[in-house]
Chains A and B, each alone.
Chain A
């Protein structure tokens, strides 16, 4: 069950790159793990580390001024590619609670909400302004007020943002989506009964644990 999201104020870090895919967010070798904790150290692994896991000084998040950032500024189509939820796990575990970008890939966008991360779409112009401010001002903080759907800084910036009301409610309350669906068990059972003959699947062959 995700942590409720109320208001988040924190350091903004700029990731100035379009089409950041989930293979970059968490490379595949970490998709072999069977747990869901501790992925923060794998975030942007191939960009973040040099051989021997030495931090790459040229990678933006390794810059001391962005240490402790909790708001990620990103570019268009963030999170494209693989459906791996390891990507939002890593982003959250690293310390980000909010991602601001002009657009997100569908599956990643959806996965964020399941983990208490707030992805917000802003216009290209607004993102350009945020990138500019984050780069020009050391320790640039943003405050994201989900209840009122407003983003502010200490220099007079005030951006309203859109979010689906249901997703907003889920985030604010940290709702257990599965628990909510299970409350509609009667509807599910009724659907199953009504559609008993569909899909018309042939009697399954004995393939269980098939081993030649």
Chain B
């Protein structure tokens, strides 16, 4: 057999039907749903008199609009309340596992899936949510789908798909101190652009990727979609297996060993080829900060806001001008001179225990700047929250002037009360700096958790590589 990439192996293992001139029918192993994109497909299923084929492979959670404050209070947002009610009723009627907003294990869908071990190597995983690419960190083929496809999976447990092209993104060498998975993926998007991965499934390889924890790999795969790729994945290895062992949905004992043997065979074969290859040298990377209104508008923290006239392409120049007007930034401003009003540490990109540890490490024994209006820590799940509290991270954050909240999507998408007000500027560990994403008129700078934490302390961006040692920490 010809050498194959991990994507090709997973694809072929899930082929239900192939016919010339038609998209292939591929089987879906895990279907995650949440309140925001599931009401319409459930309604369509009912209207068409169709059954949900595999309710036991469908997993629901409330995350997008949940309050991160007190959930025992009546909901004032009646539109969101109706959406939660619809999800609860739909899950009950169709027999779907639901982690509702009061569940002990509730959290952001892309945090709890891996945490519960529902996400496993070699699986096909979909969700009506573009950040489903997160699950690719486990060597799964995971991608976001629209509502019509959610309905398709409900009714058939399959999807009609055209095969994607493959792209290898190789991050060679060791990751320098102060450079996190977030910085690597932001640097990648800065290099390939927000459409660079269109039509491709990305495989991340190289020493710097191998050296990442599962949390770090999830951060990278999560933002594959911001580089245009529907799916991004990392071949599973010992780090993956160690993370999975013992989690609720993962096989135990002898079955686990058998599963590991299968998972080990997923790695891309030597000699397999990709349609495109991108290479980065890890030692050239630095902490990154976005300056514009998409994640590709990004630069190193020691750099400056670019001058739109420096872009050779007219469309890029116009986009940069429009972005700087929205962001209220002047070309040539040092990134470190940009001050922030609010800091948000959370989202499916950066809200896992390792992220919170990194942020807590920066703020321990310090206090947020007086100029700061709000500093928010929103754990990705209640499991993460409980683990952090056990380590005393909540106390570190609170003592430093942060608010310690309950789990959910929160200010990444601002569908609940956690909103960045118009005209204000945030340092955010989330994934999208689109206009209005965190609140209409809000200005978002995407950074790593450590960078966000340091920005909260100083009130402006700082190079954590210098700042941390200058301040006596590690």
The total of interchain contacts (Cβ-Cβ below 8 angstroms) comes to 212
Partner of A85, one of B64, B100, B120, B148: B148
| B139: interface (CB < 8 Å) | no
| B402: interface (CB < 8 Å) | no
A176-212 with Cβ < 8 A to chain B: 177-178, 180-182, 184, 187-188, 191-192, 195, 198-202, 204-205, 207-212
CB nearest to A176 among chain B residues: B48
Min CB distance A132 to B, Å, is 14
Known: A181-B25, A205-B248. A107 touches B40 (CB 8 A): no
Min CB distance B184 to A, Å, is 21
Q: Is the CB of A32 within 8 A of B322?
A: no
Q: Is the CB of B40 within 8 A of A187?
A: no
Q: Which B residues are CB-close (under 8 A) to A201?
A: 120, 249, 251
Min CB distance A59 to B, Å, is 13
A80 to B95, CA, bound (A): 34
Q: Which B residues are CB-close (under 8 A) to A19?
A: 194-195, 294, 319
Q: Which A residues are CB-close (under 8 A) to B252?
A: 202
Partner of B434, one of A24, A77, A110: A24
| A70: interface (CB < 8 Å) | no
| Number of chain A residues close to chain B: CB under 8 A | 64
| A103: interface (CB < 8 Å) | yes
CB nearest to B150 among chain A residues: A85
Report B409-430 CB contacts with A as 1/0, cut-off 8 Å.
0000111000000000000000
Binds B, one of A33-41, A61-69, A140-148, A152-160: A33-41
Interface SS of chain A: loop
| B329: interface (CB < 8 Å) | no
| A138: interface (CB < 8 Å) | no
Q: Is the CB of A28 within 8 A of B79?
A: no
| A164: interface (CB < 8 Å) | yes
Q: Is the CB of B43 within 8 A of A34?
A: yes
A177 to B149, CA, bound (A): 9
| B97: interface (CB < 8 Å) | yes
Min CB distance A41 to B, Å, is 15
| B130: interface (CB < 8 Å) | yes
A145 to B327, CA, bound (A): 42
Min CB distance A54 to B, Å, is 15
Q: Is the CB of A114 within 8 A of B148?
A: yes
A190 to B280, CA, bound (A): 44
**6 sample A-B contacts, Cβ–Cβ < 8 Å, listed by A number:** A16-B318, A32-B79, A77-B195, A178-B151, A181-B155, A211-B103
Q: Hey, which bits of chain A sit against chain B, CB under 8 A?
A: 16-19, 21, 23-24, 27-29, 31-36, 46, 75-77, 80-86, 88, 103-107, 110-111, 114-115, 164-166, 177-178, 180-182, 184, 187-188, 191-192, 195, 198-202, 204-205, 207-212
Q: Hey, which bits of chain B sit against chain A, CB under 8 A?
A: 13, 16-17, 21-23, 25, 27, 29-30, 36-37, 39-40, 43, 48, 50, 53, 56, 64-65, 77, 79-80, 82-83, 86, 91-92, 97-100, 102-105, 117, 120, 122-123, 128-130, 144-149, 151-152, 155-158, 160, 162, 194-195, 198-199, 225, 228, 230, 248-252, 255, 258-259, 262, 294, 315-316, 318-319, 322, 413-415, 432, 434-437, 440
